[in-house]
A = this chain, B = another copy of it.
Amino acid sequence: MAVYTEVSFEELETLLEQYDIGTPMSFKGIAEGIENSNFYLQTDRGAFILTLYEKRVAAEDLPFFLGLMEHLAKAGVHCPLPVKTRDGQSLVSLNLRNAAIVTFLTGIALRRPDVAHCAAGGAALAGLHKAGEGFALKRANALGPVGWRPLAESIHGANTIEDGLDALINGSLEDITAAWPHDLPSGVIHADFFPDNILFVGDAVGGVIDFYFACNDFYVYDLATMLNSWCFELDGSYNITKGQAVISAYRAARPLSEAEIAALPVLMRGAALRFLLTRTYDWLNQDPNAMVRVKDPREYSKKLRFHNKVKHAREYGL
């Protein structure tokens, strides 16, 4: 978590000439997100985040991400709203990077959300799914089943991380892709609905951030990612009370079909595999200049092993 591309005040001043958001009062690089360079900007008119998009975010995806935030914000989701230049542009260029300014959201990400937070988060996820309806742009999920095999094939030396990790990855990949559903309710999903990306103000969700994995996919896959990242305790056990809180709050806002309920176990496995794959790859291919602490893949191998024994969605709190 770091700033990859520096921005001087002089460069900021030149940039702000394109906007109508006031005079800068404070400007600091913030350690947020692993993909981009982010700066906290306070002006006499409000607080904002300036993001410079680094190479891991494809330029052709930016209209989707920025347009989605605008669509969701207009539909009432507490998410960053891209600020437009006087010429009506959300996307600008700064220091050879694509860049955007979005509104700053108050609230704090929790490392260990409790049951009340889980319920609020589940309701927020369903609200996001409903708010995304009608958004015109589409983006395929690059980290869905189609993306897993090339990612798995690019991993060499998984067993140096953990005995049997290679077999776990490749065996699960075969089983999960074979069992993957083809027809479930779909739409815009966040695809990275981890506690890191949900800002709480007390027990209420004050903001959802980091839409840079958002795409079109099964809604219940997003729910599976959320259950994976919110409902396990530090000792590796699944907290079914938290799972019930997430699922029942989600269902109260967006009912789940029988097909979605039946598919939940394989989607839980798929979501765990997706994070296991990217973490394993990043662990084995650490860039000393990346200034990022790589997350431990074993958190997700443990979760995947848990899911591989689950028979029914009831075991997740449904």
Contact = CB atoms under 8 A, between A and B. Distances in A.
A112 B2 contact: no
A259 interface: no
Contact of A106 (B25, B30, B112, B288): B25
A122 to B, nearest CB: 19
Interface residues of A, number: 29
A141 interface: no
Interface string A55-75: 000000000000000000000
A2 B291 contact: yes
A241 interface: no
A77 interface: no
Contacts of A32: 28-29
B10 A111 contact: yes
Contacts of A29: 1, 30-32
Contacts of A111: 8-10
A201 interface: yes
A313 interface: no
B30 A28 contact: yes
Contacts of A239: none
